Structure 1
């Protein structure tokens, strides 16, 4: 049963907020998409590829297919006459049945009455053996991993035209306000797109509780995001609307930045209301939205990158503080702690959360951080 929190009580611990959001949430049903649409989405399970790749020995270079035994002792100073004529083969073509190595074009002289080789070779030289690229009965994709360009190459090589993905349907409600919150809405939508989700709708509503309540019951989705109206100002009515609709679980998370984020459940659908300022929305997305998207997409655990700190991180006890980090000379350098400037957000390579029971980390401490970019 989901635990209920008061919007006016003490701050909700981040762990409790995540437990409430993720309670009963399961990966969405896979669907097939064409290869050209699959890049960046999280792969679902697929039947294994039965044939090995390549299915037979192929040439790895352009050149002459030879028999290694015929080349023993051949050199540029003492060319050998070949008892059997070599066969020209292009890269990727099947090796002739009785040939086991390749020589480059300039190492075989076919200009005279006798064909001569000017180098030795060992069996398998210049050859890609059957099964060397991929053994038989291997899955074409790694379930739970984001599909990359190499995955698409494998899919095409084994003759697939579609891939199974899990792509949560996310609906976005923009609680209209001034321009800086419009920037936040775009930031969140672009972050969603980069996370491999299907955005089923973006709706802008007036900043009043009644309009927000009506918008909550829109098109069905797997995850509902609201942006704006979660602070303590007179016009910040998003949490009030969630409470009146019976959706609110908690308003005010023990998190910095992102502390005014509100969370809830609309039936079985997780709901997160992000603050309107860009740095607060960005932090709430990292700490609360991304874990829900990972669960819905069936994504495997995101591994952190462990590097020592170039300087210490000081953190307030009682709050999870998010830290933006830059990677410099195989060390993490703190760029922002608990309050993000736009410049820190732009330059950051990774982030971490300092637990509420910690005062931070000393310089040189190895810490695990989650990448914000592809290393």
Structure 2
């Protein structure tokens, strides 16, 4: 891990500067076709249970089960009243509580004979069995899932109240570019519930970067690339020139050259261009900001013992890739994430800067490598 000459800002202090006073964005209503992955802003209770009445789940004849007690091929039942044919999805006629297959009903003679009995609810989905009345279709603070949209559609809803912060993404790549990393960040941000409005390539000079910053909108600004100390790395310079730079050089590995700022109320996160560094800094800073803006409730980590020890440098928060093996977390990489290790990883953890690591067998909290933040 490189050790810059300048003092590094701790992850905890940097994150506090970035997210101070950050509040969830205003709720909006999205059509069901657009709501997948957005964070639910409030519960949306159903006005009626699902199904709203007892319905058939097979094609057949509807009866009162009491009229079929003891029915068999040797002693068929002869129910009275009219014969009711129903198809899957039809509401049951009044007085009926079961549906039997057509092959058990003989209509060839003067009387209808049924050669099999059925219990109450056979062939039927009972009222409220799928979803009780007044229960919400979505849970506030949780991403909208495909099954949530299914429930909403079945209940007749056309939209849902959600919070989807707008993340403006700038690829500070110039001619060589950090396009792959910018694409990774865009995918992760969308998976976390944000709306990504731009992945624009910006030349690696302070004037071009500054102009792109001035033109950017949204609730969160993320830049990818240009955060190092090389001749073409001018992102921090552009932030400083606008008086919005809070920190450049974070005690984080990977991701030491990350820069952070605030443009008014808008958090600004400048990620290194290397994929592993961009990913680590995204998990550590951009994702907590998205969570604050969307009101997302942090998913729980999975606690398992370490299969082997983790050694970490004091003074730097080091991220560790983990793979689950035999009900334990197996460390794959510390402070540097080769792509093949990223592909193998199930989770990650952050070893705080005041720790030298963890002994084998220590229970640690692993966060899935999908959109999960540490704060």
Q: Does 1:94 align with 2:99?
A: no
Give 1:356's match in structure 2, choosing from 340, 353, 357: 353
1:322-361 equivalences under 5 Å are 322-361=319-358
1:241-260 equivalences under 5 Å are 241-260=238-257
| Residue in structure 2 matched with residue 233 of structure 1 by the alignment | 230
| Residue in structure 1 matched with residue 259 of structure 2 by the alignment | 262
SS of equivalent to 1:271:
strand
Q: Hey, what's the Cα distance between the residues in 2 that align with 1:107 and 1:307?
A: 55
TM-score, scaled to structure 1: 0.90
Give 2:30's match in structure 1, choosing from 25, 28, 33: 33
Q: CA deviation at 1:282?
A: 0.9
Q: Cα distance 1:361–1:62, how it changes in 2: closer, same or farther (>3 A)?
A: farther
Q: Hey, what's the Cα distance between the residues in 2 that align with 1:230 and 1:139?
A: 45
SS of equivalent to 2:178:
helix
1:1-375 equivalences under 5 Å are 9-45=6-42, 47-84=44-81, 86-177=83-174, 179=176, 181-373=178-370
SS of equivalent to 1:80:
coil
Q: Cα distance 1:125–1:210, how it changes in 2: closer, same or farther (>3 A)?
A: same
SS of equivalent to 2:320:
strand
Q: Cα distance 1:242–1:95, how it changes in 2: closer, same or farther (>3 A)?
A: same
SS of equivalent to 2:257:
coil
Q: Hey, what's the Cα distance between the residues in 1 that align with 2:59 and 2:359?
A: 56
Contact 1:171–1:199 (CA under 8 A) maintained in structure 2:
yes
Contact 2:174–2:202 (CA under 8 A) maintained in structure 1:
no
Q: CA deviation at 1:232?
A: 2.5
Q: CA deviation at 1:259?
A: 1.5
Contact 2:177–2:201 (CA under 8 A) maintained in structure 1:
no
Contact 1:85–1:115 (CA under 8 A) maintained in structure 2:
no
Contact 1:167–1:197 (CA under 8 A) maintained in structure 2:
yes
Contact 2:175–2:203 (CA under 8 A) maintained in structure 1:
no
Q: Which structure 2 segments of 5+ residues have no match?
A: none
Contact 2:44–2:138 (CA under 8 A) maintained in structure 1:
no
Q: Hey, what's the Cα distance between the residues in 2 that align with 1:14 and 1:43?
A: 29
Q: CA deviation at 1:46?
A: 5.4
Contact 1:73–1:120 (CA under 8 A) maintained in structure 2:
yes
The number of residues matched between the two structures is 368
Q: Hey, what's the Cα distance between the residues in 2 that align with 1:120 and 1:368?
A: 54
Q: 4+ runs of 1 displaced by more than 6 Å?
A: none
Q: CA deviation at 1:133?
A: 1.9
Q: CA deviation at 1:288?
A: 0.9
Q: CA deviation at 1:269?
A: 0.6
| Residue in structure 2 matched with residue 3 of structure 1 by the alignment | none
Deviations 1:147-190 (A, max 9, x none): 11111111111212222221111112222246462221222222
SS of equivalent to 2:296:
coil
Q: Which structure 1 segments of 5+ residues have no match?
A: 1-6
Deviations 1:314-361 (A, max 9, x none): 322222211122234443332222110011122222222122233333
Q: Hey, what's the Cα distance between the residues in 1 that align with 2:70 and 2:360?
A: 61
Q: Cα distance 1:277–1:55, how it changes in 2: closer, same or farther (>3 A)?
A: same
